Structure 1
């Protein structure tokens, strides 16, 4: 039992103090003696120097040796960067921390909290040296950069539009397939950021490829599976949605055709107006019938003649009664229909 306790203490104690170990050499005569470690949360900011991404820094010894022994990294794999530069501390505020230091060298890699990595002796030869790491994914970016160097050589071999078009198609697929074969979504994301960059010669080819290639949706699934809720997966999903809207504008619109809506509303409006008119006419007709039912037969005759713009004298001659009798009938009609003049009477039966 006592030995079991020792084993548990040893195991969890090591987990609790898990650290990353990064080391290497730089040329102190070429670079300042400070090496910076940064974390890249936004894969569109892989280039340049950004003070918001810097985690820590160490000083080299007289031989140029540097070492990071800390526990600052995430347990999940992320993209990190080491860089050296010749931006002096006096002008850091104006260029170094605004990403405008042109005299710098960096190396991108994949790592997590428990990794131990030895970097090449010279950043200048990083693409031709192996990184010694306990994490097989660490050097994925270095391998991709080596392939990109081969690509640049192929483009420079013969400079013509025809050669560029052939190389665009060839190297686009070569890089894409190479990233997939590495079996690391972050490495694929590194290639995607390069191929889809709006300032890149591959951008138009990427937009065309997006129309028919299911690779991009599959990459999103791999990112979400390997790095759920990470900034990488969320950023990629947002960019993919935006780019799909660019290449499929008609499909986005066809999902809801506004012209159909307006035509439908117009038809409904016409039908409702017809219904209101018919209903109003029927209601008016009913009101007329109910109003006339209140009158005697003779009063109804007088009403019809009044609506025909006949004078009292005309009505008396038509009905063979005296004018005073007509006036009596007219007053009774007014009273029963709750009007005070011929105009109100006409309004009741005409509008």
Structure 2
């Protein structure tokens, strides 16, 4: 009887003209429960319920059925959450401040404005564990959650360091191939949020992977092609750049990286030495003996003056004219910075 009622219920819903239609069922005895629809724009806030993400609330009917319908969703794919809340009401989707309620059941899925999606109750009375959708990408996040469970079991089997490294390599590749294969960047962001979490054991491997693996830059291109104006696209790009810087800071510098510094240090040392020697040479020139600037004839005239000879006597002894003697005297005065015979004798 219940199955017949369910079919009739879904059939009636399909006849409605709502642009989106999300329906589901909870276990018997849970009628009149609050069910919430949330928009998860920040992939870092996908792990639990946040009150400020909630966009709509409905109640389950007497048969435990619920539905969300309307035209207020985004026309592009986004990550949404439906959660059934048994917590004490506080007007904001249950008591979920900084925590999850023990009575919460939730599912993350991908949807857009015109989708029709149902969340059937399984035979074991488990709600929100299966998705039937007109959108082929709606169930991708459930697939990633299943991979997470497999990964955890794989790590629990052997806990050695060698096995850990091999497992990280295997599972990072598995998650990344899953995203590439399904061609939905939102699924990649959901995986990225999990693998790059700084509180997770995966973070150390991720930091090494982000520098060596082109997957992360390819995801940037795919996000810009599919969701160029979305806030999570710029959020991802900023986080990726920051993590690349972090990776460079953590990697030890190899010995070979010091050679450029040694080379430039040697060049700088040579430049300083050449400058120092030029400076000393200029100093030596400036301190040069002024007598060294005199010509041979000027030196001879200077000696004659020091002997007390007159200009005429000097001209006669050197067989030069008187005017030539005077010219030599004026030149040596200038070169020695003096102006009289007395000063010249004083130099001697």
The 5 Å alignment of 1:304-323 reads none
What corresponds to 1:22 in structure 2?
Answer: 22
Tell me what 2:172 maps to. 172
The equivalent of 2:237 in structure 1 is 237
Whole-angstrom distance in 1 between the partners of 2:179 and 2:31:
32
Confirm or deny: 8 A CA contact 1:51 1:98 kept in the other structure: no
Inter-partner Cα distance in structure 1 for 2:126 and 2:159: 30
Alignment of 1:220-299 (within 5 A): 220-248=220-248
Contact 1:32 1:85 in 2 (8 A): no
Alignment RMSD: 4.8
Match of 1:205?
205
Describe the superposition over 1:54-111 as per-residue Cα deviations: whole angstroms up to 9, x where unpaired: 0001111111110111112011111100001211125969933554423311100111
TM-score by length of 2: 0.64
Q: Structure 2: 5+ residue runs without aligned partners?
A: 1-16, 261-348
Q: Is the helix fraction higher in 1 or 2?
A: 1
Counterpart secondary structure, 1:200: coil
CA gap of 1:125–1:169, structure 2 versus 1, over 3 A, is farther
Deviations 1:236-288 (CA, angstroms, capped at 9, x unpaired):
0010011011012899xx9xx9xxxxxxxxxxxxxxxxxxxxxxxxxxxxxxx
- In structure 2, do the counterparts of structure 1 residues 205 and 124 end up closer, same or farther at CA, with 3 Å as the change threshold? farther
2:89–2:95 contact (8 Å) kept in structure 1: no
Equivalent position of 1:116 in the other structure: 116
Aligned ranges 1:1-351 → 2 under 5 Å: 19-29=19-29, 33-89=33-89, 95-121=95-121, 124=126, 126-127=128-129, 129=130, 131-156=131-156, 158-162=157-161, 164-165=163-164, 166-248=166-248
Distance 1:243 1:211 in 2: 9
Residue 142 of structure 1: CA displacement? 1.2
Cα separation, 2, equivalents of 1:178 and 1:47? 20
